[in-house]
Amino acid sequence: MAGSTLTRRALIAGAGGAALAAPVLAQSLVDLGLPGGPSLRPLDPAFPGKGEMIVQRIRPPLLETPMDVFREGVIAPNDRMFVRWNWDMPTAVKAANHRVAVGGAVNTPVSLTLDEVAAAGETVEVVAINQCAGNGRGLSEPRVTGTQWGNGAMGCAKWTGVRLRDVLAKAGVTEGAKRVRFAGLDVPLTDGAPQFIKSIPMDIALRDDVLVAWAMNGEPLPLLHGFPLRIVVPGWFSTYWVKMLSTIEVLTGEDDSYYVAKSYRMPAAPITPEDKDFATVPITEMPPRAFITSHADGAVVAQGQALTLEGIAMGGAAALARVDLVGDGWELPCTLGPDEGPYAFRRWQVTVPQVTANLAQIGVRAANITGAVQPETLAWNPSGYARNVIERITLRPQ
Amino acid sequence: MRAAAIPLAFLALALAACDSAPVVTFADASITLPDDPIELPAGPEPGRTAVLENCTACHSPSTMLQQPKVSREKWEGIARKMIEVYKAPVDPQAIGPIADYMVHVQASQPPR
């Protein structure tokens, strides 16, 4: 949780210096530790159904989860899960009127009620991390433009719904289908602007654990999180987890829509900030990541004593294999906590037997079962996507 | 403004439920989002007014104000992208003043 510290700024409201004592309004600010700033973010205004959140933007809403939340457990409570909308979000949905159209390369286009979607197949629960593709973008060096997230645009929840493939079966996918595209109720404010629609390859769409979900941690999806239905693609970045799902479209070719063909793309091979022309690929699967949650950057620890560090880790698109605490020329394996499934956060713990002088720039490095491991240096890209460099902090023995 | 969520009725039936019973009951949902005060720091005109008139209709000022320090050319490029990609009804004549204002605001920002 590098550099996430709470500061308070007292704003004095009222005129002049003399007369009556002025009321003091305190506004809480969080310092996200973004190199070069601006780094302070407000914790207000409050949003309906949300607890304390870092308000990156009021409209359309961008709310970041304070790193403290990840100290408390692997599941983010619904009122602390991050929120991200590309376009203005609808603020009311009539359940009886909502329909999910399933069309495109299908045998019989259908328009399903919510009850018909829910009855399309077996009810399935998946514990999975929802993480914005731009999570940690604000920490990029050199800095890049876009939403300046710290590392809190992520959260793990239990999602309940039916399999996407069972919903597709209501219409019948035709031969030659290649991708499945999703659209929600959120539409652009301006004529001709690209709608936020996203597609996934057919083999992903047919997976056992790819859902049309209506519940998050056992509660109906809050509107801010996509009521009444959202797509859940465990292991993939949340850009594909389309909210307020209203259209499912089966494609027979590549998807040339803006948010797939032009945006949310990564360099196909490593680049430097000087590179201008390079091939790109869509961001899809999440890489492994790990975070220290027990100590903040700069925390004081007891010299000569044993020190226990704790945190969370994820394997990304495959189960977590191991987590190591790494320092300058040394590393220590961490003990993993309970396994909530391959796509969930998992807690880790490690004890440094005796604190010595050198706890500068320590970090935790996660690896998953496919051998993907967090890199020592940032795989810089101009959109700040898929950050998974080892996050480091410095502890100060005293 | 502190807005209240309208509670939702939600029912997940136990495993014992028969096949024909719904697994979930959907209720209507609505929320009231907080007001967006649209506060912009002082800065050169006509840029500040151009930002108010052209940018904040679609998104809060924090979208611009939280960006890392970038060049004037970059700000012009961002404004052009809003016009060309996101079809923002921005007068091309406003691009220069918008960039002037953003460069000024970023130069006057405190280090954090």
Q: Are A270 and A123 in contact (CB under 8 A)?
A: no
Distance from CA of A91 to the nearest CA of B (A): 5
Superfamily grouping for domain B46-111: Cytochrome c-like domain (1.10.760.10)
Contact A48 B32 (CB under 8 A): yes
Residue A23 confidence class, pLDDT cut points 50, 70, 90: very low
pLDDT for res A7: 38
- Please choose, from the candidates A204, A120, A200, A203, the residue with its C-alpha nearest in 3D space to the C-alpha of residue A168: A120
pLDDT for res B72: 98
pLDDT for res A4: 38
Question: For residue A55, what is the nearest residue in chain B, using CA coordinates?
Answer: B62
Whether the per-residue pLDDT at A33 is higher than 70: the answer is yes
User: What's the first-to-final CA gap in chain B, in angstroms?
Assistant: 27
pLDDT for res A358: 80
Distance from CA of B45 to the nearest CA of A (A): 23
pLDDT for res B21: 66
Helix, coil or strand: residue B30: strand
A109-148: pLDDT as tens digits = 999 999 999 999 999 999 999 999 999 999 999 999 999 9
* Nearest-CB residue to A193 (from B29, B30, B87): B87
ipTM summary value: 0.90
What tokens appear for B34 in the block?
Answer: 């907080």
* Nearest-CB residue to B36 (from A58, A145, A190): A58
Percent of the residues in chain B that have a pLDDT greater than 90, as a whole number: 76
pLDDT for res B19: 53
Contact B22 A118 (CB under 8 A): yes
Write the CB contacts of B93 (distance below 8 Å, at least 6 apart in sequence): none
Superfamily grouping for domain A2-17+86-263: Oxidoreductase, molybdopterin-binding domain (3.90.420.10)
Whether the per-residue pLDDT at A14 is higher than 50: the answer is no
pLDDT for res A44: 95
Contact B112 A40 (CB under 8 A): yes
What tokens appear for B82 in the block?
Answer: 């809003």
A73-93: pLDDT as tens digits = 999 999 999 999 999 999 999
Whether the per-residue pLDDT at A374 is higher than 90: the answer is yes
Percent of the residues in chain A that have a pLDDT greater than 90, as a whole number: 92
Chain A residues with beta carbon closer than 8 angstroms to that of B59: 57, 59-60
Report, as an integer, the average pLDDT of B53-68.
Answer: 96
B69-86: pLDDT as tens digits = 999 999 999 999 999 999
- Please choose, from the candidates A289, A243, A231, A209, the residue with its C-alpha nearest in 3D space to the C-alpha of residue A83: A243
* Nearest-CB residue to B34 (from A31, A46, A115): A46
Domain spans, chain A: 2-17+86-263, 289-397
Whether the per-residue pLDDT at A149 is higher than 70: the answer is yes
Residue A270 sits at φ, ψ, to 5 deg, of: -55, 140
A270-289: pLDDT as tens digits = 999 999 999 999 999 999 99
Report, as an integer, the average pLDDT of A344-361.
Answer: 93
Residue A146 sits at φ, ψ, to 5 deg, of: 130, -175
Report, as an integer, the average pLDDT of A184-206.
Answer: 96
Contact A49 B31 (CB under 8 A): yes
- Residue A377 to residues A72, A374, A390, Cα–Cα distance (Å): 29, 9, 7
Chain A residues with beta carbon closer than 8 angstroms to that of B26: 95, 98, 114-115, 118, 214, 220, 228
Contact B66 A38 (CB under 8 A): yes
pLDDT for res A26: 52
Distance from CA of B15 to the nearest CA of A (A): 10
Report, as an integer, the average pLDDT of A17-40.
Answer: 70
Whether the per-residue pLDDT at A24 is higher than 50: the answer is no
* Nearest-CB residue to B36 (from A59, A138, A258): A59
B1-33: pLDDT as tens digits = 344 444 444 444 334 444 556 789 999 999 999
Class of the A289-397 domain? mainly beta
Residue B60 sits at φ, ψ, to 5 deg, of: -60, 155
Domain spans, chain B: 46-111
pLDDT for res A17: 30
